[in-house]
Structure 1
Amino acid sequence: MGTKRSLATKLGVVAGFENPRVALEQYPTPPDLAAHVVHLADLHDDVDGRTVVDLGTGTGMFALAAALRGPARVVGVELDRSALGVARANERRVAASAPVHWIHGDAVRHPLCVPDPVTVVMNPPFGARDGNRHADKGFLRTASDLAEVSYSVHNAGSREFVESFAADNGGEVTHAFAADFEVDAQFDHHTDDAREIDTEVYRIRWD
């Protein structure tokens, strides 16, 4: 197993969105955060030899982080075809040895049938904007359908919601921690060049 630092360094070549869509809350996952989450998953034997599914993969940051840690295969699901094109280019940049399958589809209406055991890693839309409330709920529902275990990034203050959803759907939060999420200005409503968002990461074991 490589170090978390070395994984973050390798992910530094992953390009972000060419034309981010505000309705999809397309913010690129920072390499350090992706490396931290996938390294933790690796420490819990949730990556090596397993199928890893990245729901709402965007340009592939989580999928490619997992692909560098010895999974049987990685599946990245994304609604935006343009983002998938960038993800495929990022796969060539990262040069992961594990097979990566990119699927154009809606993560909350998934058509997936993947080999067990499955680990889901995801940075779903936070649903923080008006008209998009609780957008992460559908992603958690898909994770509960597919996975034995999932790792997901949510807006700060989501613990009660995540724990309640997990308990109602046969899951249990086993780990939770706070994480900074740096966002560069990319939409008209952004007034700062960059800002840090307070987020939380949850590991859920699903029955």
Structure 2
Amino acid sequence: MSGLSRRTLARRLESIADFEDPSVSLEQYLTPAELAAHICHLAGLQDDLDRQVVDLGTGTGMLAIGAALAGADRVAGIDVDSDALELARRNERAAVGESGDTDRALAWLRGDVARHPFSIADATVVSNPPFGAQRGNRHADRAFLETASEIATVSYTIHNEGSQPFVESFAADEGGDVTHAFRAEFPIAKRFAFHTETQEALEVEVFRIEWG
């Protein structure tokens, strides 16, 4: 794995640019650099970056780029939004391409996570899926877990507060096991009409799942 400390990784990820015109229907929010660094650093410590890494719903590319900087050699980010993928490419050039200290291979793919193009079963998935809170679509993150269970040996996913019973039940039904779970703060700036505060902090839950 890379020699980057978690603190250094977070600092490098602070260069990741946010969405200029985010989509409310896709719940496009910038994954906090500190949280992404925590996840990617933990994945490195668990030797989970030694295989193909797939970022489902990559958005700005935060988790995919974080995985590459943390030591993953093969990383793919998939998103249904072509504008998001172009932003991810720009963010890659800013955070990785100009650094001169990594030759990690990143691929950016346009596609629907629920109808993914991957024919692998031993990947490491990293993902900040939509929560479904604003659309009333509870467990909008289910499709992301379903894909993770199909293509991954292990996954790291971020979910809305209170998701632990659902995630643990889903994993168990698919032969998986939640090995790590922790809470984190997810600050978001005011960007949509339903936001009433200039900035608020959501409480989220992060899970590492080993899939059977």
Question: TM-score under structure 1 normalisation?
Answer: 0.96
Question: Using the alignment, how far apart are the partners of 2:18 and 2:115 within structure 1?
Answer: 24
3-state DSSP class of the match of 2:25?
helix
Q: Is the contact between residue 18 and residue 83 of structure 1 (CA under 8 Å) also seen in structure 2?
A: no
Q: Distance in 2 between matches of 1:198 and 1:8?
A: 19
Structure 1 partner of 2:142:
137
Residue matched to 2:68? 67
**Aligned equivalent of 2:13:** 11
Counterpart CA distance in 2 for 1:113 and 1:182 is 35
Aligned to 1:39: 41
| Aligned length in residues | 205
Mapped contact 1:74–1:99 kept (Cα < 8 A): yes
Following the alignment from structure 1 to structure 2, what is the Cα–Cα distance between the partners of residues 70 and 177?
23
Code of the aligned partner of 2:190: A
Whether the 8 Å contact between 1:56 and 1:123 is mirrored in structure 2 is yes
Give the counterpart letter for 2:112 in structure 1: D
Matched-pair contact (CA < 8 Å) for 1:156–1:198 = yes
- What letter corresponds to residue 85 of structure 2 in structure 1? L
Is 1:185–2:187 an aligned residue pair?
no
Answer yes or no: is the 8 Å Cα contact 1:63–1:74 preserved in 2. Answer: yes
1:1-207 maps to which residues of 2 (within 5 A)? 1-47=3-49, 49-95=50-96, 96-114=102-120, 117-207=122-212
Aligned partners of 2:25 and 2:135 also within 8 Å: no
Q: CA shift at 1:70, angstroms?
A: 2.0
- RMSD across aligned positions (CA): 1.1
The separation in 1 between residues aligned to 2:163 and 2:118, in whole angstroms, is 27
Gaps of 5+ in 1: none
Task: Report Cα offsets for 1:57-85 as digits up to 9, x if no partner.
Answer: 00100000001122231000001111111
Cα offset, 1:188, TM superposition: 1.1
CA offsets, 1:84-107, max 9 Å, x none?
Answer: 110000010012521000000011
Counterpart AA for 1:33? L
**1:159, 1:69 → 2: CA distance?**
27
Provide structure 2 residue ranges, at least 5 long, that are not aligned to the other structure.
97-101
